[in-house]
Amino acid sequence: MSDCIFCKIAAKEIPSQLVYEDERVIAINDIQPAAPVHILVIPKKHSANIMEIAADDQGIAGYVMEVIPQIAAQAGLAEEGFRVVVNTKEIGGQTVPHIHWHLLGGRNMKWPPG
Ligand code: 5GP
Ligand code: ZN
């Protein structure tokens, strides 16, 4: 998607603070962190949201869930814990229509979320 900000970040056309990369995903620090650790895990292949992902990038959701513990451990969150969030469409609070997992940590999380 030529006008997608996360496709541009994945292609290194827009700079970001990269914390992890492999052949299928990148992980970057969020530009407006909502917690002391706020990392976005982004598939390199474009898919708009979790409703589309199975058709667009088979197996990627399970793959991301296997990579997140490695990224969390690297960020020092393995012992104390963290939160993983996928906002979906407008009601779900999604503002960038390229699927991403938020990895949040370093403070106590509240429930229910806002
Ligand atoms: P959403 O609201 O779609 O669940 O999450 C989008 C996230 O992407 C937000 O937390 C926002 O701060 C972050 N974000 C938006 N644009 C950029 C950017 O250009 N660079 C980085 N690193 N994060 C971004
Ligand atoms: Zn994209």
**Number of the ligand 1 atom closest to the C-alpha atom of 95:** 3
CB of residue 56 inside a 6 A radius of ligand 1: no
**Number of the ligand 1 atom closest to the C-alpha atom of 14:** 19
Q: How far is the CA of 59 from the centre of ligand 1 (A)?
A: 24
Active-site annotation, residues: 100
Per the confidence metrics, is the pTM higher than 0.85? Answer: yes
As a dihedral over the C-alpha atoms of residue 98, residue 9, residue 81, residue 114, rounded to 10 degrees, the angle is -50
Question: What pLDDT score does 114 carry?
Answer: 86
Question: What pLDDT score does 47 carry?
Answer: 97
Residues 6+ apart with CB under 8 A from 27: 18, 19, 20, 21, 39, 40, 41, 42, 67, 71, 103
Q: How far is the CA of 72 from the centre of ligand 1 (A)?
A: 18
Q: How far is the CA of 99 from the centre of ligand 2 (A)?
A: 8
Give the chain's residues under pLDDT 70: 1
Question: What pLDDT score does 2 carry?
Answer: 79
Question: What pLDDT score does 104 carry?
Answer: 98
Share of residues in the chain with pLDDT > 70 (%): 99
Strand order across the 37-43 sheet: 18-21, 25-29, 37-43, 101-105, 83-85
Question: What pLDDT score does 5 carry?
Answer: 98
